Amino acid sequence: MTEIILDTKFKDDLKIKLIKGYLDILILRRLLDVPSSGNAIIQYLIRNYGIYLSPGLVYSKLYSLERRRLVRSIPRIKKRIYVITKSGEEFLRIYQNFSDEFIRFAMEFFNSLNFRSKIQKVKSRLPER
């Protein structure tokens, strides 16, 4: 039972790390499809990835993207709508070209960690119950 809980927590933690690490890409990709408010982006992340990220985290990333001129905001009553810029579209195109290379690297990296055999070694050293 503990193993299942730890396994689920590990997966959830890894998912959160990936989403936080690539939040700029996720936001840009979403804005490529549809201009959105910060709250709409938060709801999108919940619906599509099952992850709630705080408004502070999402809005700080949006402001960072705006400073880098990858998105621009359009003020509306009580909210801003964010739109991807041409530079943002170009950034996504460049990223797309490197994604296959990155996926290969990530697979090699995780395979090099050899988690399964290391877990088996640790389990073999534990006293039996």
Partnered with residue 81 across adjacent β-strands are 74
Tell me, what's the pLDDT at 30? 97
In a domain, 129, yes or no: no
Say whether pLDDT at 128 is over 80: no
Residue 110: both structure tokens together: 């995780």
Q: Which domain holds residue 114?
A: 2-122
**Beta carbons of 22 and 16 less than 8 angstroms apart:** no
- Domain CATH code at residue 94: 1.10.10.10
Which residue in 102, 84, 3 sits closest to 36, CA to CA? 84
Task: State mean pLDDT over 108-126.
Answer: 64
What 3-state DSSP class applies to 109? Answer: helix
> What is the per-residue pLDDT across 27-53, written as a single tens digit (0 to 9) for each?
999 999 999 999 999 999 999 998 899
The token pair that represents 8 in the structure block: 């689920």
| Residue 106 to residue 110: CA distance in whole angstroms | 6
10 falls within a domain? yes
pLDDT of residue 118: 53
| Residue 70: both structure tokens together | 């990858």
> What pTM, to 2 d.p., does this model score?
0.75
Is residue 111 in a domain?
yes
Residue 18 has pLDDT above 90, yes or no: no
Residue 44 resides in a domain = yes
Residue 104 tokens, joined: 């290969």
Tokens of 32: 């490529």
- Percent of the chain whose pLDDT exceeds 90: 55
User: What is the tally of structural domains in the chain?
Assistant: 1
Classify residue 49: in a domain, yes or no. Answer: yes
Q: What is the pLDDT of residues 59-113, one digit of tens each?
A: 999 999 999 999 999 999 989 999 999 999 999 999 888 888 888 888 888 788 7
24 contact partners, CB below 8 Å, separation of at least 6: 61, 64, 65, 70
